[in-house]
């Protein structure tokens, strides 16, 4: 499967559906060693005059080290026919298995970053800024920390410039 690079202005989709319902694979590393995880939290927008994606990764996730240790990562969106693969990648650790082998996904490289041939849309992201979510940062008392961080495993947020946009050819 080949990808075609497009201008980001050509994108037209509902980000709430794309991220929150369709989900995305966050993949860090290079062709020699990489890992992916499913994510359903994130934002797309403009910050510092750049088109950005903000994603969230718990430090306990195996993918965290791959994203942390590399300048770039990808956010890949697959069709509904890959829902089982996305579920698997969100519920199994790459420490314990080869997610590509287990799901049948085909690793592919774009702009020196890893993604999967089955992706319909790939965002190549260059990290600009990161910060750690903390309980003390919550401004409301409506149960978010307990509901999402009962174990205290707070996410690291990555604000990243979208430096490449690829679609299936």
Q: What is the 3-state secondary structure (H, E, C) of 4-46?
A: EEECHHHCCCCHHHHHHHHCEEEEEEECCEEEEEEECCEEEEE
Domain spans of the chain? 3-137+145-168
Angle at CA of residue 93, ends 116 and 127, nearest 5°: 60
Which run of H or of E encompasses 110? strand 107-110
At a CB cut-off of 8 Å and minimum separation 6, what does 46 contact?
Answer: 52
Which tokens belong to 43?
């934002």
* pLDDT of amino acid 140: 79
pLDDT tens, position by position, 70-97: 999 999 999 999 999 999 999 999 999 9
3-137+145-168 falls under which CATH superfamily?
Answer: Electron Transport, Fmn-binding Protein; Chain A (2.30.110.10)
Identify the residue whose tokens are 């978010």: 144
* pLDDT of amino acid 91: 95
* pLDDT of amino acid 126: 98
CA-nearest of 17, 49, 18 to 122 is 18
Residue 144 to residue 50: CA distance in whole angstroms: 30
Q: What is the pTM of this model?
A: 0.94
Residues of the chain with pLDDT under 70: 1, 146-147, 149-150
Residue 149 to residue 100: CA distance in whole angstroms: 28
Residue 104 to residue 159: CA distance in whole angstroms: 30
CA-nearest of 156, 159, 99, 115 to 25 is 115
* pLDDT of amino acid 1: 57
pLDDT more than 70, % of the chain: 96
């Amino acid at each position: 499967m080949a990808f075609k690079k497009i201008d980001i202005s050509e994108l037209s989709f509902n980000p709430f559906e794309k991220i929150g319902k369709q989900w995305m694979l966050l993949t860090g590393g290079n062709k020699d060693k990489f890992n992916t995880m499913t994510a359903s939290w994130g934002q797309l927008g403009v910050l510092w005059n750049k088109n950005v994606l903000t994603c969230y990764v718990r430090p306990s996730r195996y993918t965290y080290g791959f994203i942390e240790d590399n300048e770039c990562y990808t956010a890949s969106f697959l069709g509904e026919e890959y829902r089982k693969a996305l579920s698997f990648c969100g519920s199994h650790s790459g420490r314990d298995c080869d997610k590509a082998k287990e799901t049948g996904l085909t690793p592919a490289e774009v702009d020196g970053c890893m993604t999967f041939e089955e992706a319909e849309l790939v965002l190549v992201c260059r990290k600009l800024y990161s910060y750690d979510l903390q309980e003390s940062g919550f401004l409301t008392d409506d149960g978010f920390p307990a509901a999402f961080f009962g174990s205290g495993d707070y996410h690291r947020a990555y604000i990243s410039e979208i430096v490449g946009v690829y679609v299936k050819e």
